[in-house]
């Protein structure tokens, strides 16, 4: 039998290649030492991270409040930003579109009535607020900041507070329409030749919806429906919102339009040739004034912060801020009348609850005439 001889040096080399009993132990030993050194270096950083996380967990969360608002966003964010800076309360703002913002937010809050996500309702009008109150979505709160607001602008039990009013007006281009030719009342508009050249917002939404309801409530259903039918027969131009109605006048596609005061003020500040008149709602009544409204949402997630925000929104400071801003909302506080530096009638409250009673019928009639 053939034998293979291996020399002693070769055997030693071979044993180094084939014997793995020592080398792996040496390898794992080095890994442990490196890990130990790394752990030593990381320990202070880990400890610091744990301390920071523990401090964050112990720190109280920033207070917050959720507000649904149909006030024009540029104005609303200015007002709410000031509240945030003064109070330290973070405000989450939910808005909606120009055409149906109040109605859309009313429907949203109505859907959430059993599990509200909102704390404060701040509307650019009053009638959707009354509907929410009747649905049980609002909670009484008589803010001490509203003590000097006359009773006609507030709910008797504190379900809502009105302030910072706008009027319903006829806007016109003075280069094309003489002020003397404009009707003195909304009832007279139905018999005016200008009716065929009128632009108006969709009467299913916003202040236009409240405007038609006021006609039904204050004139009676028959006369309110006759006004709507006259507008339909005259083929007036229905658009998606009040600001768009003003644009129709500016563009020359309408001679006059039904709108709110703030839309005219903003257009004038852009340099547009547009003016307005304040028609009476009837011969024995003044203009249609529609206030902003503020209310506490029943069962909202942040009730204490909600009351703080309401106190601010109904305050004289906010009425003055909206008066001095681009929208020029007129304060309802008699004490602030001297701060109004432009020509306007004094705001007088209407029977808002009575007008709200007519919303269902006026909305049905206008829907049949202008939508369906």
Share of the chain above pLDDT 70, in %: 83
pLDDT tier, 89 (very low <50, low <70, confident <90, very high otherwise): very high
Determine the average pLDDT of the residues in 99-126: 90
Where is pLDDT greater, at 369 or 5? 369
Q: Do 273 and 173 touch, CB atoms closer than 8 A?
A: yes
Q: In this model, does residue 150 exceed pLDDT 60?
A: yes
In tens, the pLDDT along 195-222 reads 999 999 999 999 999 999 999 999 999 9
Assess whether 68 and 151 both reside in one domain: yes
Assess whether 316 and 247 both reside in one domain: no
Is 38 contained in some domain?
no
Assess whether 155 and 296 both reside in one domain: yes
Is 39 contained in some domain?
no
Neighbours of 135 (CB within 10 A): 13
Nearest residue to 243 via CA among 346, 97, 79 = 97
Is 106 contained in some domain?
yes
pLDDT at 104: 87
Give me the domain span that covers residue 226. Answer: 166-287+365-370
What CATH number does the domain containing 244 carry? Answer: 3.40.190.10
pTM of the model: 0.82
Question: How many domains are contained in the chain?
Answer: 2
Q: In this model, does residue 319 exceed pLDDT 60?
A: yes
In tens, the pLDDT along 75-84 reads 899 999 999 9
Share of the chain above pLDDT 90, in %: 78
Nearest residue to 317 via CA among 209, 91, 164 = 164
Q: In this model, does residue 311 exceed pLDDT 80?
A: yes
Where is pLDDT greater, at 367 or 3? 367
In tens, the pLDDT along 162-173 reads 999 999 999 999
pLDDT at 5: 36
Q: How far apart (Å, rounded) are the C-alpha atoms in residues 243 and 253? A: 14
pLDDT at 48: 56
Weakest mean pLDDT among 45-49, 281-285, 297-301: 45-49
Assess whether 232 and 273 both reside in one domain: yes
CA quadruple 179, 185, 188, 193: dihedral sign: positive
Where is pLDDT greater, at 57 or 328? 328
Determine the average pLDDT of the residues in 112-135: 96
pLDDT at 103: 81
Name residue 257's beta-bridge partners: 171, 199
pLDDT at 24: 41
Where is pLDDT greater, at 112 or 45? 112
Nearest residue to 209 via CA among 188, 238, 183, 235 = 238
Assess whether 157 and 297 both reside in one domain: yes
pLDDT tier, 100 (very low <50, low <70, confident <90, very high otherwise): low
Provide CB contacts within 8 A for 105, sequence distance 6+: 68, 69, 70, 94, 95, 96, 123, 128
Q: Do 134 and 312 touch, CB atoms closer than 8 A?
A: no
Matching residue, tokens 């523990």: 54
DSSP track, 200-261: EE-TTSHHHHHHHHHHHHHH-HHHHHHHHHHHHHTT-EEESSHHHHHHHHHHTS-SEEEEEH
């Amino acid at each position: 039998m053939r034998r293979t001889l291996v020399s002693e040096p070769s055997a030693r080399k071979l044993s180094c290649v084939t014997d793995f009993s020592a080398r792996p132990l040496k390898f794992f030993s080095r890994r442990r030492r490196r890990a130990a050194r790394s752990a030593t270096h990381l320990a202070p950083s880990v400890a610091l991270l744990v301390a920071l996380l523990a401090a964050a967990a112990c720190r109280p969360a920033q207070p917050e409040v959720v507000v649904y608002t149909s006030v024009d966003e540029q104005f609303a964010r200015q007002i709410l930003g000031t509240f945030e800076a003064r109070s330290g309360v973070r405000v989450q703002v939910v808005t909606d579109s120009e055409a149906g913002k109040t109605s859309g937010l009313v429907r949203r809050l109505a859907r959430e009535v059993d599990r509200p996500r909102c704390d404060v309702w701040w509307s650019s009008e009053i009638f959707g607020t009354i509907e929410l109150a009747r649905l049980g979505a609002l909670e009484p709160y008589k803010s001490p900041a509203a003590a000097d607001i006359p009773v006609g602008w507030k709910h008797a039990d504190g379900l809502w507070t009105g302030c910072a009013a706008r009027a319903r007006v006829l806007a016109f281009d003075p280069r094309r329409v003489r002020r003397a030719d404009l009707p003195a009342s909304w009832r007279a508009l139905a018999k005016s030749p200008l009716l065929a050249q009128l632009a108006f917002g969709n009467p299913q939404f916003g202040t236009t919806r409240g405007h038609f309801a006021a006609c039904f409530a204050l004139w009676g259903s028959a006369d309110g429906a006759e006004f709507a039918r006259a507008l339909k027969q005259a083929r007036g131009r229905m658009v998606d919102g009040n600001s768009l109605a003003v644009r129709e006048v500016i563009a020359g596609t309408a001679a006059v339009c039904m709108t709110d005061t703030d839309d005219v003020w903003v257009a004038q500040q852009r340099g547009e040739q547009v003016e307005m008149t304040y028609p009476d709602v009837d011969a024995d009544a003044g203009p249609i004034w529609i206030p902003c409204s503020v209310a506490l949402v029943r069962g909202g997630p942040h009730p204490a912060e909600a009351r703080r925000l309401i106190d601010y929104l109904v305050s004289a400071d906010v009425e003055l801020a909206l008066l001095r801003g681009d929208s020029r909302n007129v304060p309802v506080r008699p004490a602030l009348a001297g701060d109004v530096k432009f020509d306007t009638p004094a705001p007088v409250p209407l029977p808002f609850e009575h007008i709200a009673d007519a919303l269902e019928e006026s909305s049905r009639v206008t829907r049949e005439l202008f939508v369906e």
